[in-house]
Structure 1
Amino acid sequence: MATIRWKLSLTVLGCAALLAGCASVREVQSDVQSYSSLSALPQPPTYRLELLPSQQAQAPQFATIEALAQQSLAKVGLQRDDSQGTLVVQIGAQARYTRDNSPYYYGGPYGPRWNWGLGFGRGAGWGMGFGGPWMFDAPPPLHYRAVSVVMREQRTQRIVYETSAVHEDVWTNDPAIFGVLFDAALSGFPHPPQGTRKIRTPLAVSGPAEPATPAVPSAPPAKP
């Protein structure tokens, strides 16, 4: 009996250690799309960050996004110089909170479904929708996070680099997720694989991530 209790204790401790490991490290899967006409790192490797009026109007919220993007740009060798930047960089970020879109839940007896969030980028628009009866067996909420980066030559104003990264999961950990997404979007700069690819990034977290509720609803920004 003592042997059985000892083995049971080891099993419980092993499961606890496994759960602790899962809580401390997450894998963020990003769907990345990149398009580049650059053959090398611009010289000098500097950029001017161009903020849209909507981004400037939401300065307190957008300051964190701006700082994360700047860190990721520095990792690929680009330094911010708003007075004499070789490139002009525009960034965007989206946050949405939504339910499963499958026909089994949408419009069926297992609602609800809602879609709302906060966005920073090109274009403007606001919207919120609620639908379906409220049931306790509804699917878990999905947290949609996305970032984008567009670069133009300062001299010609020609777009030379466009990239985006999207992550969707039942958990989130803002603002760390946005930092991971900017890193993923800029992976391979200045000549990444063209088109769509998946990037998996380990993310250390201090504990189970809490669902993040966006401050205000927003429609996604239009593409450049």
Structure 2
Amino acid sequence: MKQFSFPSVGAVALVAALLSGCATSITVDSQVQAFSSLTAVPAPATYKFDRLPSMQEPGQARVEAMADPALHKAGFRRDDAAARYAIQVTGRVQRIVSPWADPWAGPMFGGFGWAHRRGGRFGFGMDVESPWYHREAAVIVREAAGNKVVFESHAVHDGPWMDNTMVFPAMFEAALAGFPQPPAGARRVDITIAPAQSQ
């Protein structure tokens, strides 16, 4: 005989948040670790994007566009013709198993009828997925003359948000938090996205 259960309050809240979309602000919490040899925001902090041979695909331009606002907020100004710094940015995303996923693959009884429960599916004829995504963002700043690395930061975030154009800008902002002298060691950095930004 299979065991049935109702969704937890947390699961219901998560699904409600996903269904409500941009009705409320969201917080992108990233685990960040940064390293810097800079003591002040350099002047002029002009930069150009630097790409490895493996980073020539069209998607790299989209990653750089998502990093631009955070770089400007940190004090950098893009100037490809007279760049003092060469900045390399990367963004990776992978769909992973949701922490809300039920190891039981059998059916369950939802609020209004029978449904199959796997990864947060429940309710009356509903098939509400709760996908989860693992994302990594990195920023490496080199002196254009000499190619010396003067700043490096990595941010990691796991969450349900599918929109890369919403999450990655917040992660790049987290990666640059505290620039040019970020705290030592790993830390959590929360970036809140307002409703207008999360549409």
| TM-score for the superposition, normalised by structure 1 | 0.62
SS across alignment from 1:68? helix
Structure 2 residue aligned with 1:145, among 135, 149, 163? 135
Aligned with residue 65 of structure 1, among 63, 73, 76: 63
Alpha-carbon separation, structure 1, partners of 2:46 and 2:198: 38
Residue 191 (structure 1) shift: 0.7
Structure 1 residues 51-91: Cα deviation after superposition (integer angstroms, max 9, x where no partner) = 223332x21x3322211212211111111122321111111
* Residue 124 (structure 1) aligns with: none
CA change 1:22–1:66 in 2 (3 A) is closer
Structure 2 residue ranges without an equivalent (≥5): 1-15, 106-115, 121-129
Superposed displacement of residue 206, structure 1: 6.3
Q: What secondary structure, in the 3-state scheme, does the structure 1 residue paired with 2:23 have?
A: helix
For residues 109-162 of structure 1, give each alpha carbon's deviation from its aligned partner in whole angstroms, at most 9, with x where no partner exists: 75xxxxxxxxxxxxxxxxxxxxxxxx8434643111221000112223221100
2:195 and 2:162 mapped to 1: Cα distance? 10
Match of 1:93 among 91, 94, 105: 91
Deviations for 1:145-183, whole angstroms, at most 9, x for unmatched residues?
A: 221000112223221100011111123332111111111
Q: How many percent of aligned residue pairs carry the same amino acid?
A: 35
How far, CA to CA, are the matches of 1:55 and 1:195 in structure 2?
Answer: 28
Structure 1 spans left out of the alignment, 5+ residues:
1-15, 111-134, 210-224
Which SS does the other structure have where 1:181 is aligned? helix
CA drift of 1:22 comes to: 7.9
Return the alpha-carbon distance in structure 2 between the equivalents of residues 81 and 207 of structure 1. Answer: 27
2:81 and 2:152 map into 1 onto residues whose CA distance is 22
SS of the counterpart of 1:74? helix
Match of 1:29 in 2: 29
**Letter paired with 1:150:** I
Matches within 5 A, 1:108-123: none
Q: TM-score, normalised by structure 2?
A: 0.70
Partner of 1:222: none
In 2: Cα distance, 1:136 partner to 1:54 partner: 41
Q: Is the 8 A contact 1:96 1:145 kept in 2?
A: yes
Give the direction of change, closer, same or farther, for the CA distance of 1:38–1:51 in structure 2 (3 Å limit).
same
Shift of 1:194: 1.7
- Tell me the number of residue pairs that the alignment of Structure 1 and Structure 2 aligns: 163
